[in-house]
Structure 1
Amino acid sequence: MQAQTATPTAAADKPTVRLSKSQAGTGGSVTVTGAGWRPKAILMVLICGRSTPSRGVPGGTDSCANAEGRAVTADDKGAFRRELPVAEPPVSCPCVVHVSTITGPKAEADAAFQVAGHSVEPLPREAAGGHLSLLTDSRLEGSSGLLTWFGAPPARELVLTVGNVGTSPVRNPVFQVGTSHGVFAPRWEEQQWRGTIQPGREARITLPVTLAAGAHGDYTVSLEHGGKVLTEQPWNVGRPWGVTLFWLMLCLVVPAALFRIGMAGVERVRPGREAPERRRRRPRMPGLPGWVSGPAASTAAHAQPRTPSPSRTRSALPWFTPDTDPGATRPTGLSSAQEDPST
């Protein structure tokens, strides 16, 4: 059986997918090969229903056999080869083998495939009217502030320019904004843009994007309208180091405060401690220098007689001898002859 070649969803220079067979039953397998992908890109290979290579997968991955999907990594040249088990998708055929990137810039390609024994129903006709298409590359604008460094929710604005390629105006379009972390599925949120885009006109769309508090790491912001993904933007969110610093300081301050409180309690209950305000100033011993104090000096002061010594009654002048000291007192009852030994 001749191998089937994928019809890329965009221009001819986009990635391509080839199948080893165009039909297989449940329980079988099909070999999927690809080329033109981003080197080292991580890809997801799925069998999806109610899809064609020209229209892509309008229902998203909800119409695919996700449990039997396989992941593969492209080589240095952007090529890959993967064996895919055949399983029935949750919706009817026509079916495709859908290959898309998991991380990084958005890229996808489809190849027609028939699941033997699975029901086939005609696709619903596309409703006529307005249709939005991305005209320029989208971007995330904004920056993180001081509160984000302490764990506040990171916020950005998704800015893009879309054009109405349909035949009728598009009024107040509702977009699906999704945020995904790593390889996890995006979480979608509806946001309505107020305004009218006439056929053949373009408009600049600005939509707010907010993550959860404390979020950090590699995120991907996706924008979907009318069942098709318009753009995807990577977002590298820095770690809130302020929270780490806060907990580190808390682990240092709290033990120090508890230690100070404990030491104050120990000082209060320690026995034999006398309050400083209750201490009495002990009297100094008279006639002793001011640095002599204490119980020994006090006891010595009481033991000494309080009568002045004879030397204290004499003059302390150095040029007088004890005999010629005018301040010396003579003993009573002695004559001048007795006083002078030489007479």
Structure 2
Amino acid sequence: MSTRIRTTARLVLVLLLALGPLAATGPAYADTARSGEPDVSLSRQEAGAGASVTVRGKGWRPKTLLTLLVCGQNAIGGTNACANDEGRAVTTGKDGTFRKRIPVTEPPKPCPCVVRATTVTGAHASADAALKVAGHPVKPLPRDETGGRLTVLAARLDGDSGILNWFGAPEQRKLVLTVGNLGSERAKDPVFEVGTSHGVFAPKWERQQWRGTVAPGKKERIELPVELASGARGEYTVAAKHGEKVLTEQPWDVGRPWGVTLFWVLVFVVVPAAVFRLGMVAVDRVRPRQRTGAAPSPKASSGAKARAALAAFRQVGQNGSEGRHVKPRPGRTRMPDPAPEAPPPPDHGLPWFTPDTQPSVPKQEGPSG
């Protein structure tokens, strides 16, 4: 029996010696998170601006996009207290862990500073790890004068789109919250942060202060205006938080501004057709027109006279050959009846003479008798 006890003790000692180096690696990657909650840890707790630290996380949802930011004032002011330009993005693995190296920069607010990891997609989740930025000023945290402990009992988006939104005007809604005070102090003029996010992008937070007081154990109706950029469309998410607590997230499906599409259709279809029509009218006015009843050209007039004289000469010759004789009355000369106008002969356009110089027709003599 004593032999078995000694063998067991030796095995326990060997295991302790084997696990000793892993436990002595320091608090850099100590597991301080409770089971099921996201957590982040840093490779070192202090670094100067320009250096870099390695951030490790676990307990996050698999395949989730996160943002890593260095923030001042323990990030109580939201992203306004963070160095957003030097932030980094990382996606968690299948086991909910990640590892990312980020640069250390001085945040816009004084320390105490933290490295904050926040989800970009899906349900909101965040975790902080303390970081001392060497050379950055340190000031006490601002005092929370609002007091109370607010929670949202009901939330909805009020409002509807109008004709101007159909043509691309900014969409506007009201985030209506029914807030209850679960604390023992009054919440006077509480400050909320309202953010809108589109797709995988992080929300842009805007601070809004509600004027009023929520007594302990009471509830109040609070309205916070929300506005999107001009021409926004697609699926948005509106979130509101008080302090570090996200109170609510409401989906917002924004339709396509079909009026803008109709406008561009008119520009590219109707306007070119109108320009083409105006051009045709201008061409029709500039084009020379053939005047009706205009005097014939001198050449055409002389040709017509020559043909008429030739036809009359032939008619007179035919009347003389038939023996017709018209005795003129004394003191009066009878003019021959005008011959019917015969169709003009075809003009072959001989080059060596004109209609005025056509050869004369010999006079026909009557039958001898």
Output the TM-score relative to the length of structure 1: 0.64
1:83 & 1:264 partners in 2: Cα distance? 70
Contact 2:152 2:247 in 1 (8 A): no
Change (3 A) 1:136 1:106: farther
Aligned to 1:33: 56
1:247 aligns with 2:298: no
1:247 & 1:256 partners in 2: Cα distance? 14
Aligned to 1:161: 178
Change (3 A) 1:170 1:86: closer
Contact 1:58 1:228 in 2 (8 A): no
> Aligned-pair distance for 1:82?
0.9
1:256 & 1:79 partners in 2: Cα distance? 61
Contact 1:216 1:238 in 2 (8 A): yes
Aligned to 1:60: 78
> Aligned-pair distance for 1:109?
0.7
1:303 aligns with 2:340: yes
1:272 & 1:38 partners in 2: Cα distance? 83
Contact 1:5 1:17 in 2 (8 A): no
1:26 & 1:267 partners in 2: Cα distance? 76
RMSD: 3.8
1:214 aligns with 2:237: no
Question: Is the partner of 2:256 in helix, strand or coil?
Answer: coil
Q: Which whole-Å deviations, capped at 9, do the CAs of 1:223-254 have from their partners, x for residues lacking one?
A: 34457654444544333132112211232112
Aligned to 2:27: 2
Equivalent pairs counted in the alignment come to 273
State how 1:170-249 maps to structure 2 within 5 Å: 170-171=187-188, 173=190, 175-179=192-196, 183=201, 186=204, 188=206, 190=208, 192=210, 196-217=213-234, 219-225=236-242, 230-249=247-266
Output the TM-score relative to the length of structure 2: 0.60
1:69 aligns with 2:106: no
> Aligned-pair distance for 1:20?
3.3
> Aligned-pair distance for 1:199?
0.6
Contact 2:210 2:222 in 1 (8 A): no
2:255 & 2:192 partners in 1: Cα distance? 27
Aligned to 1:82: 100
Counterpart among 86, 104, 115 of residue 97 in structure 1? 115
Structure 1 residues not aligned, in runs of 5+: 52-56, 279-301, 306-343
> Aligned-pair distance for 1:166?
3.3
Q: Which whole-Å deviations, capped at 9, do the CAs of 1:113-153 have from their partners, x for residues lacking one?
A: 334565555545544x5335233474434444454232232
1:268 & 1:116 partners in 2: Cα distance? 83
Structure 2 residues not aligned, in runs of 5+: 1-25, 294-338, 343-369
Contact 2:191 2:207 in 1 (8 A): no
Counterpart among 124, 128, 152 of residue 110 in structure 1? 128
> Aligned-pair distance for 1:107?
1.4
1:272 aligns with 2:289: yes
2:172 & 2:231 partners in 1: Cα distance? 12
Change (3 A) 1:131 1:147: same
Identity score, percent: 55
